[in-house]
A and B are shown apart, each in its own frame.
Chain A
Amino acid sequence: MVEHVVDSWRPLAAVLISTVAIALIVASHRRPNVREAWSVIASVGKFAIVASMLPGVLDGTEYRWSLGMVPGLDGEFVAGAEFALRADPLGMLFALLASFLWIFTAFYSAGYMRGLDEPNQTRFFASFAASLSAAIGIAFAENLVTIFVFYELLSVATYPLVAHDETDEARAAGRKYLAYTFFGGGFLVLAGTALVFVLTDTTTFGATAADLAEADPALARAAFGLLAAGFGVKAGLMPLHSWLPDAMVAPTPVSGLLHAVAVVKSGAFGVARVVLEVFEPDLVGELGVGLALAAVAAFTLTAASIIALRADRLKRRLAFSTVSQLSYIVLGLGLAGPAAVAGSGTKTVIIGGLLHIPAHAFMKLTLFFCAGFIHVETHTDYISEMDGIGKRMPLTMAAFAVAAAGMAGIPLVAGFVSKWFLLIGAVEANQAIFAVVLLISGVLNIAYFWPIVYGAFFESHDDADGKPLVEFPLGGRASGGASAGEPKAVADGGAADDAHDDDAAATDEHQEGGHHDTADHEHAGHAVHSDDQHEDHDHHGGPPPGGWERAGWTGAEGSWLMLGPILAIVAGAVVLGVVPYQAMFLELIEVITEGVVG
């Protein structure tokens, strides 16, 4: 395919449109309707600009903007790197996804923030717009230095969103978030970028692999390790994932769009750039780093699924699910190395990995939006309180069920297609062990999503089965009251940390609800108590005294401002699963793999 590059201001416009919106949002902080209108306008505008480049990109045109196009500047940002944006197929994939989903999130977050009457809404919407700017910048960055610029800006822009609540817990989560992301960005990615620059004298994507192949293999491996780990922090690769569950303290639209789509995907996207364009699959395979990356990803996706089994707070379970699902993407990319060496399956694993970016985004966004909607309407955050909630929120839980099915890889929903490619690719690349891991993980996915769906539709509040996984300590139920006063963290290393988080999370929830109940910790004396359980059955979480009211299937369950986006996105997830080729993403991904593998 003949690439041809056109100078264009459109990539910059796509980045800057939401930056301009920040100013307008701040300026109209007194009029919420106008303020939210700016968000929506910016999101639609952003998507329109990005989409306008799609036909060209599919035909092999790349739109490029650099600082040099500003009169009087010569474009060089630092020696050896221009400040340049280029809309290429891979970048389009991420940009299209982020900007498209922002439109729905803009509506949803307006509904969510108003529904809860949150403070500091102006700062929230402004930071949100800034985050989107940075995300699009990451998508279109032409070289490692430019991507680093936006990667850091994204960390900065999302920090206010994580710490939004201004509670002690939110601030702690914010601190942790900053520490992790700056360790990933300002330290690891920067060091990796510098190392690549020193080894090759350039950082432009697609221009470095040849020089890296000739460099000292130890240094080249170090550069790969630094870059992969640095982007891996945001992609939630273990052991650098722990900011992600904590960051769930943020308002749900943030958890949804940023921590399931823009932020975490920027990490995964960074890994994609590194594997596909900085090192390229052949070199990744030769250096042996692809297998290492795939191994880390395989470990992460299994371990995170197991942890998710025991999380009672819905958003927390979703967070660990995110950690797990992101590793599918990384796994696909990591396998590209061994596959390139084996000579078969490269294309398949890359398609699988990349397709999981949009697939997971649609599904996880649905799940988060459902969780947020439940929170707004019923103030219920814990799975153990959700039995029978399908009666109260039928449409929401139906959407939840569809998205969860997709997560598990059930056909006709988005998740199936990408997992299928990954599975086939892993076998083709002679790495069948990873195929086994994928299958096991699929089972685990069902194991942690099915109880929610089952409980919601087929049980009722006063007549629910026990939930041994989340209620009992690991290793089985201790007899009688003996476990009551004992230190609870025994033989439960993985969850000890969670317990702390969840206690704090419970506190937070109270503050959101307006009345603070410090009796939380006294519940430690209960007979059956798991570390991860939310014991505090207070008045504003869970069903009202008479059980859930029944709401019809016509949308009586809550504001359409939130329900609408949920249904739209879940529909998108189904479209991706049924007719993947018509949904643009797969076509785009094939163009990408053509470019990489040839």
Chain B
Amino acid sequence: MTETLLFVGDLLTSQYTYLLVAILLVVGLYIVVASSNLVKKVIGLNLFQTAIFLFFISAAYVQGGQSPILPSEGAGEGLYASPLPQVLVLTAIVVGVALTAVGLALIVRIYSEYGTLDEETLREVRADE
């Protein structure tokens, strides 16, 4: 019991970012699965990816780390933000933007053809054809 309490306490005080990431992740995935609106699906996807980006960013904030490129003498002191994850996230964001663009472009074409953004309606329309 106490162990659980300690764990929850630790999570809420010093590791709350992970909690936040987890919540965002689940919310995003839920939107992707549950929303029948195609645009909202893409938004959910973005949210999902953003959660992962935040996860990387928070992981970059390390106690006692040191620069990987120009090693200093001995371990560093205090908090230190590793540049590597930030570079990664930058790349991932670019990928994410490209995905959103492609997704929206496809949605535009679907809308112009079927006149709907709703997945259910879309299914009915296509079944009729």
A and B touch in the complex (CB under 8 A): no
| Residues of A in contact with B (beta carbons under 8 Å apart) | none
| Residues of B in contact with A (beta carbons under 8 Å apart) | none
